[in-house]
Protein backbone atom coordinates (compact mmCIF):
# COMPACT_ATOMS: atom_id res chain seq x y z
CA UNK A 1 0.00 0.00 0.00
CA UNK A 2 1.26 3.44 -0.83
CA UNK A 3 -0.15 6.34 1.14
CA UNK A 4 1.88 8.88 -0.78
CA UNK A 5 3.46 11.82 1.02
CA UNK A 6 2.78 13.99 -2.02
CA UNK A 7 -0.97 13.84 -1.36
CA UNK A 8 -0.52 15.06 2.21
CA UNK A 9 1.39 18.10 0.98
CA UNK A 10 -1.87 19.33 -0.55
CA UNK A 11 -3.18 20.10 2.95
CA UNK A 12 -2.62 23.83 3.04
CA UNK A 13 -1.54 24.98 6.49
CA UNK A 14 -3.67 28.12 6.18
CA UNK A 15 -6.86 26.13 5.64
CA UNK A 16 -6.75 23.53 8.40
CA UNK A 17 -10.56 23.14 8.39
CA UNK A 18 -10.16 21.04 5.25
CA UNK A 19 -7.73 18.60 6.91
CA UNK A 20 -10.42 16.09 7.93
CA UNK A 21 -12.00 15.94 4.50
CA UNK A 22 -8.71 16.03 2.58
CA UNK A 23 -7.44 13.10 4.64
CA UNK A 24 -10.61 11.09 4.02
CA UNK A 25 -10.33 11.77 0.29
CA UNK A 26 -6.66 10.75 0.21
CA UNK A 27 -7.30 7.59 2.23
CA UNK A 28 -10.29 6.62 0.06
CA UNK A 29 -8.28 7.15 -3.13
CA UNK A 30 -5.40 5.07 -1.75
CA UNK A 31 -7.85 2.33 -0.68
CA UNK A 32 -9.48 2.25 -4.11
CA UNK A 33 -6.14 2.09 -5.93
CA UNK A 34 -4.99 -0.66 -3.58
CA UNK A 35 -8.15 -2.67 -4.27
CA UNK A 36 -7.80 -2.26 -8.03
CA UNK A 37 -4.21 -3.54 -7.89
CA UNK A 38 -5.23 -6.52 -5.73
CA UNK A 39 -7.93 -7.49 -8.23
CA UNK A 40 -5.37 -7.50 -11.03
CA UNK A 41 -2.83 -9.53 -9.05
CA UNK A 42 -5.53 -12.01 -7.99
CA UNK A 43 -6.34 -12.79 -11.63
CA UNK A 44 -2.64 -13.37 -12.37
CA UNK A 45 -2.26 -15.58 -9.30
CA UNK A 46 -5.30 -17.70 -10.21
CA UNK A 47 -3.93 -18.23 -13.72
CA UNK A 48 -0.55 -19.36 -12.42
CA UNK A 49 -1.93 -21.51 -9.56
CA UNK A 50 -5.34 -22.83 -10.70
CA UNK A 51 -6.03 -24.65 -7.43
CA UNK A 52 -6.44 -21.27 -5.76
CA UNK A 53 -5.06 -19.99 -2.51
CA UNK A 54 -8.17 -20.58 -0.45
CA UNK A 55 -8.34 -16.84 0.12
CA UNK A 56 -11.28 -15.02 -1.37
CA UNK A 57 -11.01 -11.62 -2.99
CA UNK A 58 -13.02 -10.12 -0.13
CA UNK A 59 -10.58 -11.59 2.39
CA UNK A 60 -7.66 -10.11 0.48
CA UNK A 61 -9.39 -6.73 0.51
CA UNK A 62 -10.12 -7.09 4.24
CA UNK A 63 -6.47 -7.70 5.04
CA UNK A 64 -5.40 -4.68 3.02
CA UNK A 65 -8.17 -2.61 4.64
CA UNK A 66 -6.81 -3.58 8.05
CA UNK A 67 -3.32 -2.45 7.00
CA UNK A 68 -4.74 0.94 6.00
CA UNK A 69 -6.39 1.19 9.42
CA UNK A 70 -3.07 0.42 11.09
CA UNK A 71 -1.31 3.16 9.12
CA UNK A 72 -3.99 5.71 10.01
CA UNK A 73 -3.94 4.78 13.70
CA UNK A 74 -0.12 4.70 13.88
CA UNK A 75 0.04 0.95 14.56
CA UNK A 76 1.65 -0.22 11.34
CA UNK A 77 4.51 -2.64 11.97
CA UNK A 78 5.99 -2.20 8.49
CA UNK A 79 8.59 0.51 8.72
CA UNK A 80 8.97 1.16 5.00
CA UNK A 81 12.15 2.59 3.57
CA UNK A 82 14.65 3.31 6.28
CA UNK A 83 16.91 5.30 3.96
CA UNK A 84 16.81 9.04 3.73
CA UNK A 85 16.18 10.61 0.34
CA UNK A 86 19.40 12.57 0.55
CA UNK A 87 22.22 13.18 3.01
CA UNK A 88 20.78 16.45 4.34
CA UNK A 89 17.51 14.94 5.54
CA UNK A 90 17.19 13.80 9.12
CA UNK A 91 14.02 11.69 8.67
CA UNK A 92 13.19 8.58 6.68
CA UNK A 93 10.19 8.58 4.34
CA UNK A 94 8.26 6.59 6.96
CA UNK A 95 9.11 9.19 9.62
CA UNK A 96 7.94 11.96 7.30
CA UNK A 97 4.62 10.19 6.68
CA UNK A 98 4.07 9.64 10.39
CA UNK A 99 4.87 13.29 11.22
CA UNK A 100 2.50 14.53 8.52
CA UNK A 101 -0.26 12.30 9.84
CA UNK A 102 0.30 13.63 13.38
CA UNK A 103 0.08 17.19 12.03
CA UNK A 104 -3.15 16.43 10.16
CA UNK A 105 -4.73 14.79 13.20
CA UNK A 106 -3.64 17.75 15.32
CA UNK A 107 -5.56 20.02 12.94
CA UNK A 108 -8.58 17.72 13.05
CA UNK A 109 -8.49 17.84 16.86
CA UNK A 110 -8.20 21.65 16.82
CA UNK A 111 -11.19 21.97 14.50
CA UNK A 112 -13.40 19.67 16.59
CA UNK A 113 -12.71 20.93 20.09
CA UNK A 114 -16.20 20.16 21.39
CA UNK A 115 -15.85 16.46 20.54
CA UNK A 116 -12.12 15.80 20.74
CA UNK A 117 -10.85 18.15 23.48
CA UNK A 118 -9.76 15.57 26.05
CA UNK A 119 -8.31 13.09 23.57
CA UNK A 120 -4.65 12.50 22.77
CA UNK A 121 -3.55 12.50 19.11
CA UNK A 122 -3.50 8.68 19.17
CA UNK A 123 -7.09 8.66 20.46
CA UNK A 124 -8.10 11.17 17.76
CA UNK A 125 -6.59 8.84 15.16
CA UNK A 126 -8.60 5.91 16.57
CA UNK A 127 -11.76 8.04 16.66
CA UNK A 128 -11.24 9.16 13.03
CA UNK A 129 -10.79 5.56 11.87
CA UNK A 130 -13.92 4.39 13.72
CA UNK A 131 -15.96 7.22 12.19
CA UNK A 132 -14.65 6.71 8.64
CA UNK A 133 -13.92 2.97 8.28
CA UNK A 134 -17.24 2.30 6.51
CA UNK A 135 -16.50 5.03 3.94
CA UNK A 136 -13.00 3.63 3.36
CA UNK A 137 -14.47 0.11 2.90
CA UNK A 138 -16.96 1.46 0.36
CA UNK A 139 -14.09 3.13 -1.53
CA UNK A 140 -12.16 -0.11 -1.45
CA UNK A 141 -15.04 -2.20 -2.79
CA UNK A 142 -16.29 0.16 -5.47
CA UNK A 143 -15.21 -0.78 -8.96
CA UNK A 144 -15.39 0.50 -12.51
CA UNK A 145 -15.94 -3.10 -13.57
CA UNK A 146 -18.95 -4.42 -11.62
CA UNK A 147 -18.13 -7.99 -12.65
CA UNK A 148 -14.90 -8.12 -10.62
CA UNK A 149 -16.70 -8.18 -7.26
CA UNK A 150 -20.24 -9.10 -8.35
CA UNK A 151 -20.22 -12.57 -6.78
CA UNK A 152 -17.44 -11.98 -4.28
CA UNK A 153 -18.14 -13.08 -0.74
CA UNK A 154 -16.36 -12.86 2.58
CA UNK A 155 -15.02 -16.09 4.09
CA UNK A 156 -17.45 -16.20 7.02
CA UNK A 157 -20.87 -14.81 8.00
CA UNK A 158 -20.39 -11.39 9.59
CA UNK A 159 -23.36 -9.34 8.35
CA UNK A 160 -25.90 -8.85 11.12
CA UNK A 161 -29.43 -9.21 9.80
CA UNK A 162 -32.64 -7.73 11.17
CA UNK A 163 -33.70 -11.20 12.33
CA UNK A 164 -30.66 -11.34 14.64
CA UNK A 165 -28.78 -13.92 12.57
CA UNK A 166 -25.63 -13.48 10.50
CA UNK A 167 -25.09 -13.87 6.77
CA UNK A 168 -22.15 -13.67 4.39
CA UNK A 169 -21.25 -10.47 2.61
CA UNK A 170 -21.84 -11.67 -0.93
CA UNK A 171 -22.66 -8.54 -2.88
CA UNK A 172 -19.48 -6.65 -3.82
CA UNK A 173 -17.93 -7.75 -0.50
CA UNK A 174 -20.61 -5.79 1.32
CA UNK A 175 -23.59 -6.75 3.42
CA UNK A 176 -26.89 -6.79 1.54
CA UNK A 177 -28.89 -3.68 2.42
CA UNK A 178 -32.25 -5.40 1.92
CA UNK A 179 -31.57 -8.02 4.60
CA UNK A 180 -29.01 -6.32 6.78
CA UNK A 181 -29.68 -4.27 9.86
CA UNK A 182 -26.87 -2.00 8.71
CA UNK A 183 -26.65 -1.72 4.92
CA UNK A 184 -23.13 -1.69 3.49
CA UNK A 185 -21.57 -2.40 6.88
CA UNK A 186 -17.93 -3.45 6.84
CA UNK A 187 -17.93 -7.27 7.01
CA UNK A 188 -14.51 -7.53 8.65
CA UNK A 189 -12.91 -6.83 11.98
CA UNK A 190 -9.35 -7.59 10.80
CA UNK A 191 -8.57 -3.93 11.45
CA UNK A 192 -9.01 -4.64 15.17
CA UNK A 193 -6.75 -7.71 15.10
CA UNK A 194 -3.07 -6.96 15.80
CA UNK A 195 -1.09 -6.90 12.57
CA UNK A 196 1.29 -9.69 13.56
CA UNK A 197 -1.69 -12.07 14.09
CA UNK A 198 -3.29 -11.52 10.67
Is a pLDDT exceeding 90 seen at residue 104? Answer: yes
Give residue 86's region: left, alpha or beta (phi > 0; psi -120 to 50).
beta
Domain range enclosing 88: 5-150
What is the per-residue pLDDT for 167? Answer: 77
pLDDT band at 7 (very low <50, low <70, confident <90, very high): very low
98 located within any domain: yes
109 located within any domain: yes
Is a pLDDT exceeding 50 seen at residue 12? Answer: no
Please tell me whether residue 161 adopts helix, strand or coil conformation.
strand
Report pTM.
0.77
Is a pLDDT exceeding 80 seen at residue 90? Answer: no
Mean pLDDT of the chain: 77
What is the per-residue pLDDT for 58? Answer: 83
What's the domain count of the chain? 1
Segment 160-167 shows an average pLDDT of 77
| CATH code at position 64 | 1.20.1310
96 located within any domain: yes
Alpha-carbon distance of 151 to 170, in angstroms, equals: 6
190 located within any domain: no
What is the per-residue pLDDT for 174? Answer: 78
159 located within any domain: no
pLDDT band at 121 (very low <50, low <70, confident <90, very high): very high
Q: Which residues share a beta bridge with 180?
A: 161
165 located within any domain: no
Contacts of residue 174, defined as CB under 8 A and 6 or more positions apart, other chains included, come to 137, 138, 141, 184, 185, 187
Contacts of residue 168, defined as CB under 8 A and 6 or more positions apart, other chains included, come to 153, 154, 156, 157, 158, 159, 187
Report in angstroms the alpha-carbon separations of 116 from 13, 111, 126, 184, 192: 20, 9, 11, 27, 21
pLDDT tens, 15-68? Answer: 445 555 689 999 999 999 998 888 777 777 777 766 555 557 888 888 899 999
Least confident range of 46-60, 130-144, 161-175? 46-60
Amino acid sequence: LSLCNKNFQNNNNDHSSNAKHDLLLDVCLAANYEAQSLKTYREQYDLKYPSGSGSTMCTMLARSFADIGDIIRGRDLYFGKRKKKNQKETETERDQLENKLKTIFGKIKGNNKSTLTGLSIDEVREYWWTENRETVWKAMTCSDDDNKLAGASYFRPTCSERSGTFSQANKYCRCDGAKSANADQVPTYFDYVPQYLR
